[in-house]
Amino acid sequence: MADKFLHKVRYCVEVADSTSSVVLVRDSNHRDGGCLTLRPATWSSFVDFVKARDACP
């Protein structure tokens, strides 16, 4: 599964677009600690939340 994690994003998180129906997310500092399996819409909502939060002063 490790080779599926192609996208490293902020906050030490790696994201794998494993299929069109799930997004896998893991802590890049603890790669053996498992991963979250999210629906794409859930991941997208989380990303939007983080972007909005980062835009705040």
Q: What is the dihedral of CA 9, 31, 22, 40, to 10 degrees?
A: -30
**Among candidate residues 21, 25, 22, the one with its CA nearest the CA of residue 5:** 25
How confident is the model over 17-48, as pLDDT tens digits?
667 799 988 888 888 888 899 999 998 998 89
Which stretches within 1-57 are classed as H helix?
40-55
List Cβ neighbours of 21 (8 Å cut-off, separation of 6 or more): 39, 40
Report the distance separating Cα 18 and Cα 38, nearest Å: 11
- Look at residue 37 in the predicted model and tell me its pLDDT: 92
- Look at residue 6 in the predicted model and tell me its pLDDT: 55
User: What is the pTM for the complete model shown?
Assistant: 0.66
Q: Is residue 2 over pLDDT 60? A: no
